[in-house]
């Protein structure tokens, strides 16, 4: 999955499906308005360069996530509080922390290596 090789409407829907999230949540992750996500999904507009870069970071997260968990388990893990995140869910960490995506990718790497659960 890559933003540069797939129509943006399919890309956004695939990202949301992989994360098991709403337009509102993806908008929070990227730092844009919900209506913008809807316009992208309906091919009414196209993301600007900064949004594309953020989508690429989200894709990197999804690749790591699906390398550690199966799709259903991945969505469940994203929505379960985690001790390593002081009780926050990984999805909330991604939404509200500017460095959340990298933090979750690192956490997934630790899980992959059996360092944390």
Which residues, including other chains, have CB under 8 Å from residue 52's CB and lie 6 or more apart? 3
CA distance linking residue 19 with residue 87, whole number of Å: 19
**70-114 per-position pLDDT tens digit:** 999 999 999 999 999 999 999 999 999 889 999 999 999 999 999
**29-41 per-position pLDDT tens digit:** 999 999 999 999 9
Is-contact 29 59, C-beta < 8 A?
Answer: no
H or E element, residue 117: none
| pTM summary value | 0.88
Cα of 91 vs its chain's centroid, Å: 8
Is-contact 11 47, C-beta < 8 A?
Answer: no
Q: Which CATH class is domain 3-112?
A: mainly alpha
Domain boundaries, the chain: 3-112
Phi, psi of 16 (to 5 degrees): -60, -40
């Amino acid at each position: 999955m890559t933003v540069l090789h797939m129509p943006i409407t399919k890309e956004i829907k695939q990202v949301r499906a992989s994360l098991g999230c709403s337009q509102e949540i993806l908008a929070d992750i990227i730092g844009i308005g919900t209506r913008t996500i809807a316009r992208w999904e309906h091919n009414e507009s196209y993301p600007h360069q900064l949004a594309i870069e953020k989508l690429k970071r989200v894709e990197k997260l999804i690749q790591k996530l699906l390398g550690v968990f199966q799709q259903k388990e991945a969505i469940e893990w994203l929505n379960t509080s985690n001790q390593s995140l002081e009780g926050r869910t990984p999805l909330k960490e991604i939404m509200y922390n500017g460095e959340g995506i990298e933090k979750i990718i690192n956490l997934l790497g630790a899980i992959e290596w059996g360092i944390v659960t």
